[in-house]
Amino acid sequence: MAYKNWKVATPDPEGRAALEREGVHPLVSAVLSARGIRSVEQARTFLSMHDEPVCDGGQMKDMDRAVARVRLALDRGETVAVYGDYDVDGITATCLLTEFLTGLGGRVIPYIPDRLEEGYGLNREAIAALAQQRVKLIITVDCGITAVDEVAWAKELGVDVVVTDHHECKAMLPDAAAVVDPHRPDCPYPFKGLAGVGVALKLAMTLAGPERAGQTLEALCDLAAIGTVADVMPMIGENRAIVQRGLKALEKPRRMGIAMLVREAGMENRPLNSVSIGYALAPRLNAAGRMGRASVAVELLLSHDGVRAAELAQELCRLNKERQAVELGIFEQCEQLLGNSPQRGAIVLADPSWHQGVVGIAASRLAEQYGCPAFMICLSSGMGKGSCRSYGGINLFSVLEGCQDILEAFGGHELAAGFTVRQENILALTQRIRTQVALQASRVQEPELEVDALLDDPAILDLQGVELLDRLEPYGTGNPRPVLALAGMQVMSRSLVGNGRHLKMKLSKRGVTLDTIFFSAAGRMPELGSRIDVAFYPQINEYRGTRVVQIQLVDLRQAASRAQLERELLDKYRRGDALTAAEARALLPEREEFVALWHYLKRETASEPTLEETPARIARETGRREPVLHTLVCLDVMQERGLIDLDTRGDKVRITLTPVRGKVDLEQSCIMRRLRQMMEEN
């Protein structure tokens, strides 16, 4: 199990039934109702967010100052540099603002620092080089919020800086011409979840003015969508509206570079959604920055030449394969290190041979594999550059804030961050990190796997239903990709694929067989013929014109035994929890069972007034082949109607018959009526 606990959303049978009555597919109804959507009107509103207006960027603190300074640069004919980050968010933001300002007649230089030589964010050497190119204004995108010294240096060189960023702020802000960041404590902007490219989009729309803001949004939403999805931003509010517009624009990519990248990634004639962006396009764009070639991705997205765009797309795919090989080598090395010397609470590793651009991805894999935050440091000339990834709700920015006295620099956000540390301080940093993580962990709940619905029958996973689930796109924080679960699936076949890294299985239940894939799960192969519970993403696999439903596993665990399932259902019934129709039916006894049990009790208490026995033996003695649950419910009903006194003592029950007058109608029992009502309602 990757997760100790699966938290299945409380079913909403009434909401699900209401949606199904309106013609919504049962699979989609199960997911929507679990997320609080109970009517077709609510569903329609949720699914059509792209029609919603987005917030006015002018509400952001300092946006008026940023617009005034950029307009002044355009009026004066100044050379402007758009200075970005080397990840997908920063690359798309750089291209978005470069394209927009160029369209206004601006003289624009896109600049992204070399990840391996310069590192993250503004740096003095780059500022000096831009000043020599007569740049008078630098606009940062997806970076700059912590660049206090660098902005001061730019001012000394006669270069103004407008900061646009979306990362967490420190106590001191740069003394820039404008600092636009929704995370500023004094920023009244209502939506705080924008990506860096989202903030850049807001600057462009505000510069365009109210009359052309909508047109600007439609022209740039494809870049904004890619950057927002790639940076794993919350997919709620206006992010959802922006990304939905962008996905619609990406159905037929109008940018030559994106069209060539889609083709090279083998995504032609397939729908582009948040999942395919996250797994196909984003890694290829990201590879450019990670391997120190971010300029390739920038040139691709700004290209209007089909031949050149095709060459650049091929280069990105080559860089991505190189990145994958380097990352796998680092990850396997870390596994060996941790096998020899396991670390608790937080993983902190350092090595001079690691590739700075790739350790962040390796840190993500380590965090998932070992269930704790991972901090990886690349050493060079007495300094260490680190990347870290969170796990279990640990806020990395807060952790690094608690270590800032022994760090040279740091920045980022809750889930991912970077830092610089002197090599001689790494041991102290390791101890401090573990202390900070432990302090947070004591206040953070252990991570749970959120499951939308536990399905009774795998037959519900048909092509139509799985296709319709895609209408819930885009997925992200706040609107996660639906996770479903099936219990008691039998393992029919299993094999390792992808050089032994991935687990492929055929699972069966109720005559339905499903193909499954479980990525990076080679060490978790269940026995043939065993019964397992699986949590998964449903998806459609298309091969040579054939389309079949496939499930991509998120987690698996050994299925509960029949006795365990009976105990769980009994506990649920006795707590008074809502039951499904199938659960209520499994508990509901028949009249013949009451008759057989009553005759047995009268016979066994003929000489002794009290019987003490296990429920299982009573069930056998009354001829029941069904679960012992019915015997226990019969006893509860008899006690409720005054026929017996019932006392549970360990694994046995103590039963005493009580004298009654006349006939007792057991069907009028509150227990029986409740079970029948739940069967009818569900």
Residue type, 415: L
Residues 12 and 42: their CA atoms lie apart, in Å, by 15
Buried b (16+ CB within 10 A) or exposed e, 68-93: ebbeebbeeebbbbbbbbbbbbbbbb
Sheet of 347-351, strand order: 347-351, 374-380, 383-389, 416-422, 409-412
Q: What is the mean pLDDT of residues 438-461?
A: 86
DSSP for 579-601?
A: --HHHHHHHPPPHHHHHHHHHHH
Angle between helices 306-340 and 282-290 (to 10 degrees): 80
Higher-confidence position of 484 and 679: 484
CATH number at residue 674: 1.10.10.10
Distance, CA of 447 to CA of 452 (rounded, Å): 16
Average confidence (pLDDT) over 361-372 = 88
Say if CB 92 and CB 226 are below 8 A apart. yes
Kindly give the pairing relationship between strand 135-141 and strand 79-83: parallel
Domain containing 134 equals 57-220
Cα-Cα-Cα-Cα dihedral sign, residues 496, 497, 501, 505:
negative
Q: How far apart are CA 617 and CA 632, in angstroms?
A: 12
Task: Indicate whether 27 and 124 sit together in one domain.
Answer: no
pLDDT of residue 389: 94
599 with 671, same domain: the answer is yes
User: 665 by DSSP, 3-state: which?
Assistant: coil
Which helix or strand (DSSP H or E) is residue 577 part of? none
116 and 214 part of one domain: yes
Please check whether residues 29 and 151 belong to one and the same domain: no
Mean pLDDT for the stretch of residues 138-157: 95
Arithmetic mean of pLDDT, 603-618: 90
Complete DSSP assignment for 479-530: BPPP-EEEEEEEEEEEEEETTTTEEEEEEEETTEEEEEEETT-TT-PPPTT-
Kindly state whether residue 101 falls inside one of the protein's structural domains: yes
**Averaged pLDDT for residues 581-592:** 86
- Which pLDDT score is estimated for 624? 61
Residue with tokens 């008074």: 576
Residue 556 included in any domain:
no
Q: Quick one: pLDDT at residue 98?
A: 98
Q: What is the domain-level CATH number for residue 399? A: 3.10.310.30
Domain boundary at 187, 220, 253, which? 220
Mean per-residue pLDDT for 279-284? 91
Under the banding of pLDDT at 50, 70 and 90, the label for residue 550 is: very high
Q: Give the per-residue pLDDT at 112.
A: 94
Percentage of the chain lying above the pLDDT 70 cut: 97
Residue 274, sorted as left (phi over 0), alpha (psi -120 to 50) or beta, turns out to be alpha
Does 134 fall in a domain? yes
Per-residue pLDDT for 365 more than 80? yes
In degrees to the nearest 10, what's the CA dihedral of 506, 510, 511, 517?
A: -20
Task: Look at the pTM and tell me if it is higher than 0.85.
Answer: no
What amino acid occupies position 461? Answer: L
Q: Is residue 242 part of a domain?
A: no
| Same domain? 28 vs 135 | no
Q: Which contiguous run of DSSP H or E holds residue 566? A: helix 562-575
Whether 636 contacts 646, CB under 8 Å: yes
Q: Which residue has 């702020």 as its token pair? A: 169
Same domain, 126 and 148: yes
How does pLDDT run across 286-303, given as a tens digit for each residue? Answer: 999 888 889 999 999 999
* pLDDT of the residue at 129: 95
Sign of the CA dihedral running 410, 414, 417, 421: positive
Would you say residue 148 lies in a domain?
yes
Domain boundary among 189, 205, 220: 220
What φ, ψ does residue 593 adopt, rounded to 5°?
A: -70, -40
Nearest of 97, 145, 91, 101 to residue 122 by alpha carbon: 145
Taking the C-alpha atoms of residue 287 and residue 310, their distance in angstroms, rounded to an integer, is 17
Neighbours of 140 (CB within 10 A): 32
620 vs 222: which has the higher pLDDT: 222
29, 37 contact by CB (below 8 A): no
Q: CA 424, CA 241: separation in Å to the nearest integer?
A: 48
**pLDDT of 525 strictly over 90:** no
Residue 279 in any domain: the answer is no
For 518-548, the three-class secondary structure string (H helix, E strand, C coil) is: ECCCCCCCCCCCCEEEEEEEEEEEEECCEEE
Model confidence at 626: pLDDT above 60: no
Give alpha helix (H) positions in 63-103.
63-76, 88-103
* Residue 623's pLDDT band (cuts 50, 70, 90): confident
Same domain (yes/no): 38, 70 = no
Better-predicted residue by pLDDT, 54 or 284: 284
Most confidently predicted of 66-75, 244-253, 537-546: 66-75
Q: State how far Cα 230 lies from the chain centre.
A: 12
Based on the fold, state whether residues 622 and 652 are members of the same structural domain.
yes
Domain holding 88: CATH number? 3.90.1640.30
- In our burial notation (b when 16+ CB lie closer than 10 A, e otherwise), range 500-536 reads eebbbbebebeebebebbbeebeeeebeeeebbbbbb
Task: Tell which of 441, 470, 485 closes a domain.
Answer: 441
Model confidence at 313, pLDDT cuts 50, 70, 90, reads: very high
Q: Identify whether the C-beta of residue 355 lies closer than 8 Å to the C-beta of residue 376.
A: no
Residue 662: pLDDT above 80? yes
Q: Pick the more confident residue, 119 or 590.
A: 590
What phi and psi, each to the nearest 5 degrees, are found at residue 571? -60, -40
Alpha carbons within 13 A on the beta-carbon side of 55? 20
- Cβ atoms of 604 and 611 closer than 8 Å: yes
Question: Residue 533 forms beta bridges with which residues?
Answer: 557
Q: Are strands 453-455 and 484-497 parallel, antiparallel or unpaired?
A: parallel
**Cis previous bond, 659, omega within 30:** no
Between 184 and 679, where is the model more confident? 184
Phi, psi of 679 (to 5 degrees): -65, -40
What tens digit of pLDDT does each residue of 220-230 get?
999 999 999 99
Shared domain for 574 and 640, answered yes or no, is yes
Compute the 3-state secondary structure of the chain and give helix, strand, coil in percent, each to the nearest 5.
45, 20, 35
Q: What is the DSSP letter of 234?
A: B
Q: For residue 252, give the H/E element and its range.
A: none
CB 24 within 8 A of CB 43: yes
pLDDT over 70 at 51, yes or no: no
Report how far residue 247's alpha carbon sits from residue 222's, in angstroms, rounded to the nearest whole number.
7
Cα–Cα distance for residue pair 183/193, rounded to 1 Å: 9
On whether residue 69 sits in a domain, the answer given is yes
Residues 215 and 349 in one domain: no
Question: Phi, psi at residue 184, to the nearest 5°?
Answer: -60, 135
Total domains present in the chain: 4
The reply to whether 19 and 104 lie within a common domain is: no
- From the centroid of its chain, how far is CA 358? 21
**Is residue 404 domain-resident?**
yes
* Mean pLDDT across the chain: 90
> Which pLDDT score is estimated for 32?
93
CA–CA distance, 419 with 411 (Å, rounded to integer) = 7
Cα-flanking dihedrals φ and ψ of residue 94, to 5°? -60, -45
User: Helix count (H) and strand count (E) of the chain?
Assistant: 25, 21
Distance CA 509, CA 489 (A): 5
Q: Please, what is the angle between helix 88-103 and helix 213-230, to 10°? A: 160
Residue with the larger pLDDT of the pair 101 and 526: 101
Residues 41 and 61 in one domain: no
Q: Is the pLDDT of residue 373 over 90?
A: yes
Q: What is the pLDDT of residue 49?
A: 60
Looking up tokens 């009976």 gives: 566
